[in-house]
Amino acid sequence: MKTIYLDNAATTPILPEVIDAVSSAMASTYGNPSSIHHVGRKAKSLVETSRKNIAKHFNASAQEIIFTAGGSEADNLILRNAVTNLGVSVMISSKIEHHAVLHTMENLQKEFGITVKYVDLDEKGAINYAHLAQLLQESGEKKLVSLMYVNNEIGNILNLEKVSELCMANNALFHSDSVQGIGHFNMDLKKIPIDFFVASAHKFHGPKGVGFAYIKKGFGIHPILHGGEQERGARAGTENVHSILGMEKALEISCVNMQEESTYIQGLKNYFINELKLHFKGIEFNGHSDSETDSSYTILNVRFQKVYAMLLFNLDLKGIAVSGGSACQSGSNIGSHVLHAILPEKEAEKTSVRFSFSKFNTVKELDVVIQTLKKLLN
């Protein structure tokens, strides 16, 4: 049975070119980048070249890129530093952020007594920018806004430029968990004066366990991992050399092919939306996930009109891999915190499925999914 993989928001298949880059580095570049001999210096040079090349994709400087073990660590590094190092006492976020942000803020609130405020959302999960402006103007305390670029469950796209402008006008810092956007959308930091964002390689066909934090020049960052002076003192631990090189290759390929691939994947998504509407009465799309302009072309969150308790399990038995929400909370029986935040209780309790696409998917696969759903639901 051939697997049909439609859970690319959880993780993406690794590109063959990336596997080659990683395996080549593992075979030939075994030195510790902190060693002063030529074997170590070779590894260090490759890491620093990767840093420069990654930075170029964003019009950033190499010193603004800090390598991490992924997006969650990068979020923690930035948010904790905002409180302990940069004087932030008020954080403004939304209730549909990734738990790497929400749970970190909750811990900072318990540990340091900071204030956490949540911006209003509409029924589609879109940010109320007027309310955000109001929250920014409420007091003179140092503030940080943390709002994700692309929501990992419903695909809503944040207007980064608008939020950046609001933050600048109110002397607030702006952090964005951009894990679902990097490698899929262009981010030019000359046009978007964001202070911090994070990325994770496995969301754009790179290896797992590696990512980076972008930290605008001028912010002194203290480590949350201690034991060495790697990453300019911002993160202790020997650099994951082969994975960093793999991430560089994955990002390069994603950026070079972005226009072509986004057009193809959007076509798949549009086709799937039309087929779902044709075959399933009363179907709804959560958030703006059915919009070409307000949602990522990679994510579609579908709400059926009944509760189908075993739907994900039965799809898996048929070789179709999908998700009910973030993979980070799979195994939880409380449902999606994103959908519970934006939908009435009765609607949130209905069965919703997140289908997420990549360039490796085909129309033929989507036809199989539609036929399988018809057999399971009708």
- For 294-316, what is each residue's pLDDT tens digit? 999 999 999 999 999 899 999 99
* Residue 330 banded pLDDT, cuts 50, 70, 90: very low
Class of domain 4-12+258-377: alpha beta
Provide φ and ψ at 20, rounded to 5°.
-60, -45
The pTM (predicted TM-score) of the whole model is: 0.94
DSSP structure string for 21-53: HHHHHHHH--S-TT--SHHHHHHHHHHHHHHHH
Position 362, amino acid: T
**Of the residues 222, 328, 330, 374, which is catalytic?**
328
351 contacts: CB under 8 Å, gap ≥ 6: 303, 304, 306, 307, 308, 309, 311, 324
Dihedral, CA atoms, 327, 333, 337, 338, nearest 10 degrees? Answer: 60
Return the pLDDT at 188: 96
pLDDT at 329 over 90: no
User: CATH number for the 16-256 domain, one of 3.20.80.10, 3.40.640.10, 1.10.10.410, 3.30.1490.20?
Assistant: 3.40.640.10
pLDDT in the model for residue 331: 44
Whether residue 143 contacts residue 90, with contact meaning beta carbons closer than 8 Å, is answered with yes
Q: How far apart are alpha carbons 132 and 127 in whole angstroms?
A: 8
- Give φ, ψ of 369 to 5 degrees: -60, -45
Q: How confident is the model at residue 325 (pLDDT cuts 50, 70, 90)?
A: low
Query: Among this protein's residues, is 328 annotated catalytic?
Result: yes
pLDDT tens digit string along 1-29?
Answer: 799 999 999 999 999 999 999 999 999 99
**Residues with Cβ < 8 Å from 120, sequence gap 6 or more?**
128, 131
Taking alpha carbons only, the member of 264, 231, 171, 241 closest to residue 26 is 241
| Tens digits of residue pLDDT in 200-256 | 999 999 999 999 999 999 898 999 999 999 999 999 999 999 999 999 999 999 999
Same CATH fold assignment for domains 4-12+258-377 and 16-256: no
Domain coordinates in residue numbering, the chain: 4-12+258-377, 16-256
Which element (helix H / strand E) includes 215? strand 211-215
